[in-house]
Structure 1
Amino acid sequence: MSSVEILNMGSRVTRLIRNFNVENRAHREISKARPKPAPRHPSASGFPQEDIAATSISEEVQQRNDPLLSMLKDVYVESKDPVSQAEAVPVVKKVEQKTQRRALKYSLPGDPYGFCDVTDVPKGRLSLVEALTALNNHKRLPKTWTPEKLAQEYSLDPKDAKALTDFFFPFDVKIIPPKTEETKQIKDS
């Protein structure tokens, strides 16, 4: 048997199963009792009594009621938004941070990448150039440039300076020396 004959035989079997007893199944579905539909909402039925009630209410709303109007004129409302303490505190901190700034210790010469626009930074912060300089100084002379000295030099929190020296490392460039004749090389056999 070829593969085409096998496929045709398979499609015949599936067609037989699909069409088996179709007529009886269809009659069974048709003869089932339909469920009773849910009752409609009274407003959807559109009774004329409701329309009359709605129009009378809308007329009543549109009429001027002088006693209610005179009582409304006696009412006076004054409203102020209270300033919560949680909102007031951050404003003060922002003002203090703006006044407590320090001049840059190091900057790049010229105007590369727009870094020259920055002339000072808030205390407790570092510019990119200062951070790289501080990390490089600590890497070259760790006994001289301790985290305490870096904190003092750049107005940092001591634990921030300690974290800076522990977790950040400047790029480490390693230069591989050129090959010499003395080095042994594996040769293909």
Structure 2
Amino acid sequence: MGSRLGRMFRNFNLESRAHREILREKPLPAPRHPTSVNTPVSAEEITGEIHKKNDPLLALLKSVYVESQDPTPQVLEPQAEKEEGERRPLKFSLAGDPYGICSITDVPKGKLSIVEALTALNNHKRNPQTWTPEKVAQEYSLDLKDTRGLLNFFVPFEVKILPTTSKKAPKQIKDS
């Protein structure tokens, strides 16, 4: 019933309202900018403009003087020779061969393997007086600034098992 009443008010006097809107004065559009589209230009005039010399610009171009020299060639050392002296053997590795990690035998200085990083973090966590950032940096050939950042911002996983406080705690499944 509400839709009928709404439709009735909406369609009331619709035709007269439409005529009134059509007869209302519309705003005038802004005047168009004069363009060169209406003026015919031949292709010969355009090519003539392109090939015509402009003496002031030509004089400016002649005043520019560029002097260049080739850079001296620098002999670069091959990467393989460079890295051989900057590598160190691994301190720790995983038993077995999970994920191909054990195939790594040495690491560049200033870098750590995953196992070494976890070992260093764990040692520092358990004995911070013994494993100071300076000792860790010396042990693994790391930068002291990077070592301090590593020990401050990366924490090895901690597993905390909280005791259940409710009496209705579910029974635990025991391995048999």
Q: Normalising TM by the smaller chain, what interval?
A: 0.5 to 0.7
Q: How far apart are 1:120 and its partner, in Å? A: 1.2
Give CA deviations for 1:30-68 in whole Å, capped at 9, x if unaligned: xxx99876223331789xxx8xxxxxxxxxxxxxxxxxx
User: Using the alignment, how far apart are the partners of 2:14 and 2:107 within structure 1?
Assistant: 78
The question of 1:82 aligning with 2:94 is answered no
Q: How far apart are 1:8 and its partner, in Å? A: 2.4
Using the size of structure 1 for normalisation, the TM-score is 0.57
SS in 2 for 1:155: coil
User: CA 1:157 to 1:3, structure 2 compared with 1: closer, same or farther past 3 Å?
Assistant: same
Query: Residue type of the partner of 1:140?
Result: R
Give CA deviations for 1:151-170 in whole Å, capped at 9, x if unaligned: 11101111211111111111
Structure 2 spans left out of the alignment, 5+ residues: 49-68, 169-176
User: Using the alignment, how far apart are the partners of 1:116 and 1:16 within structure 2?
Assistant: 87
Give the corresponding residue for 1:112: 98
SS in 2 for 1:115: helix
Moved over 4 A (4+): 10-14, 33-37, 91-95, 183-186
The count of aligned residue pairs is 141
Structure 1 spans left out of the alignment, 5+ residues: 51-79
- Aligned pairs for 1:10-159 (under 5 A) are 15-21=18-24, 38=36, 39-43=39-43, 82-83=71-72, 88=74, 91-92=76-77, 94=79, 96-159=82-145
User: Using the alignment, how far apart are the partners of 1:142 and 1:155 within structure 2?
Assistant: 19
The question of 1:176 aligning with 2:162 is answered yes
SS in 2 for 1:173: coil
Using the size of structure 2 for normalisation, the TM-score is 0.60
Query: Residue type of the partner of 2:139?
Result: E
Structure with higher helix content: 1
User: Using the alignment, how far apart are the partners of 1:34 and 1:151 within structure 2?
Assistant: 75
SS in 2 for 1:124: coil
User: CA 1:101 to 1:37, structure 2 compared with 1: closer, same or farther past 3 Å?
Assistant: closer
Q: How far apart are 1:110 and its partner, in Å? A: 2.0
Larger radius of gyration: 1
User: Using the alignment, how far apart are the partners of 1:160 and 1:37 within structure 2?
Assistant: 66
User: Using the alignment, how far apart are the partners of 1:107 and 1:157 within structure 2?
Assistant: 22
The question of 1:8 aligning with 2:11 is answered yes
Query: Residue type of the partner of 1:108?
Result: L
Q: How far apart are 1:115 and its partner, in Å? A: 1.4
State percent identity of aligned pairs: 45
SS in 2 for 1:2: helix
User: Using the alignment, how far apart are the partners of 2:148 and 2:32 within structure 1?
Assistant: 79
Query: Residue type of the partner of 1:163?
Result: G
